[in-house]
Amino acid sequence: MSFLSRLFSGSHAKYGSFIVQWAERKKKELRFSNQITPENMFAGFIYGLSSFAKSTQQFKSSKDIESSISFSLEGFGYDSALFELGCYHYFQVDMWLFAHCPDLRQWVSQVFIREFSGLFTQALQISNVAELFRQRVEKYGEIARAEGNAEEYHRYLSQLILRTKDNQKPKSYNFDNEPPQLVFEDMMLKMAIANWETAMVPAMIESMEATTKLLKRSS
C-alpha cells in the first residue's frame, strides 16, 4: 500500500474545478507510488483539500435546517474557496513541521509554497496568488502568536470563503474595515469547515508523520 493511499481514497470525479481535476490526475499517477518527495506529499495535500468540494454538498438537504430556508453551500465548492482553505491548511502543515520536524520544515514548506502558488495561479488565472497566500498565512501566524483557538481561525477563514461564493476571485482584505457577511451562511460554512477539518487533518498528520520519517532516512 502506498504512503498516499489514505489521502487518495474515494473519488470526487463529478466535481469540476481545476483543482479537483488536477487532484484526480495525480491520484491516478501516484496511487501505487512509494516515491517519497515533498512534491508527492503536496499532491496528497491537494487531494485532501479537494475533498472540501464534496463536503459542501452535505448541507443542501439537511433536516437540521428549517424547510422554509433555501440554503446550500454548493456555491463554495470551487477553486477560489479551495484557495482560502488551502492557505489555512498549509499553515496547519507548516505549524506541524515547526513543532515536529524543524530540520525538514524549510525544505518541505518551500516546495509546498512553490507548488501551491503555481497551481492556484493556473486555477484562478490571477497574477497575485503568491501575495495573497502570504497575507493569509501571516494572518494565521498572528492568531497563533496571540494564542488563538480554532474558533478564531475559523472566524477569519469563513469570512474569506464567504467572499468567494460562486467562485469570485480572492482579494486582499482589511478586516478592520470589512462588514461581516451573512450570519446564517457564516454559521453553516463554519460547520462545513469543522467537519472537513475533523475528517481530513488526522489523515494529513498521519501521512506527514510517516513520510517525514522516510524523508529523514533518505536525506
In the chain, what percentage of residues exceed pLDDT 90? Answer: 47
**pLDDT, tens digit (0-9, with 9 covering 90-100), for 63-111:** 444 433 335 677 888 999 999 999 999 999 999 999 999 999 999 999 9
pTM of the model: 0.85
pLDDT at position 187 over 60: yes
How high does pLDDT run on average in the chain? 83
- C-alpha 160/C-alpha 172 separation (Å) is 10
If you count DSSP H runs as helices and E runs as strands, how many of each does the chain have, helices first?
8, 0
DSSP state of 187: H
